[in-house]
Amino acid sequence: MAKKTSRFSIRESELATALEITCEQLDEIVNFFDSDPDDQWELRENYHFIYLIKNLKERLFSEEGAYAIAKYIDEKATKSIWKRITEFITKHNENIRNAFINQKIQENCTSLTFQNNLQFLSKNDVVNILCTNNARFDQAFYEIQKSDNAMIIHEDFDDIDGVRYYSLAGFYKLSRHLAKELTVKDRRGWCEAIEIVGKKTFKLIIDEQAARQNKINSAMNAAKKRDGSMCQITGKKHDKSNKAINITVHHIYSKEHYPHLAACQDNLITLTQEVHNEFHAWNGGSQKPCTVNHLIEFINKLYPDNYKVIYRLNQVKKTLNAQPPEQKAA
């Protein structure tokens, strides 16, 4: 049977610091526990501790192990350490819980969307991060709407493309409400910590997204300059005699579905806005994945005389397909 190790998370150095002793003093105490099998002091492997590196006798302790050592010191010392070790265990468990919240947010943030100068998350992602279910979530929303601090549409929540989204402010309002109303202590603690952990985690995510978007914008500007701001399919460009023409840059492999190619200039081609819209409509909508093969097929059917751009796209296909994945974002 596999050893259950999840409850052993306290390193020797952390425990020694919490007990205000040295690691050597902690070793002496552990050795004392092992010295007499008939006395009341014992530390059992797989209950009080497990070995991290057995030949070095480096251990990871459980809460029970930490409390057993603290009890021994408490009986031998003139000053009680019980309050101190309890505070250490509480803080240690909070740190572990917050690490899981951070992980939960990072696994459920793909819907993060910028709109009206606010960041919004889909209801599905919010429910997953709060570790609740739709029925309890809807109840919380209803209870808040009946209160004096009701959520405001376009500020705390909104409907985007027919899907309910919540701003980060609305998300934190929901977590604070659940932290007060849930009956299970651990669940209240989880929701109570959401805002503290969320503000740090979402800042990292949003900063990374902004840096990535800046990199994409820079690549798109460079691609437009490379193409002379001219549509590579029709040859049209915005000038004094064609003022109504808008020029845009198309991701040959869609950036949402091939994010490693989003800032790659080889994956970008300049088109008129009209041709860009025409391609995505032909391909089934702007949300549908697109590749170089889709664009080649589109041009062969709607602009069959443009051999030059077909040749270029076939070179793009060879170049991008030849790149190993770890180099495709270059």
Q: Three-state DSSP class for 252?
A: coil
Tokens 């109504």 sit at which residue?
Answer: 244
Q: Which helix (H) or strand (E) holds 309?
A: helix 307-322
Angle between helices 185-226 and 82-107 (to 10 degrees): 40
Is the pLDDT score of 168 beyond 80? yes
Burial class (CB in 10 A: 0-12, 13-18, 19+), 162: exposed
Q: Three-state DSSP class for 104?
A: helix
pLDDT given for residue 7 in this prediction: 86
Confidence of residue 84 (pLDDT cuts 50, 70, 90): confident
Least confident of 202-211, 233-242, 244-253, 288-297: 233-242
User: What's the rounded Cα separation, in Å, for the pair 36 and 46?
Assistant: 19
pLDDT given for residue 3 in this prediction: 57
Q: Could you read off the pLDDT of 270-314 as tens digits, one per residue?
A: 999 999 999 999 999 888 999 999 999 999 999 998 899 999 999
pLDDT given for residue 36 in this prediction: 77
Is the pLDDT score of 224 beyond 50? yes
pLDDT given for residue 37 in this prediction: 76
Domain coordinates of the chain in residue numbers? 8-103, 108-209, 228-320
Confidence of residue 322 (pLDDT cuts 50, 70, 90): low
- The predicted model gives 71-78 an average pLDDT of 80
Tokens 């076939």 sit at which residue?
Answer: 314
pLDDT given for residue 327 in this prediction: 46
pLDDT given for residue 330 in this prediction: 40
DSSP classification of residue 165? E
Burial class (CB in 10 A: 0-12, 13-18, 19+), 295: buried
Greater model confidence, 116 or 253 = 253
Q: What is the mean pLDDT of the chain?
A: 90
pLDDT given for residue 207 in this prediction: 94
Confidence of residue 326 (pLDDT cuts 50, 70, 90): very low
- The predicted model gives 140-156 an average pLDDT of 94
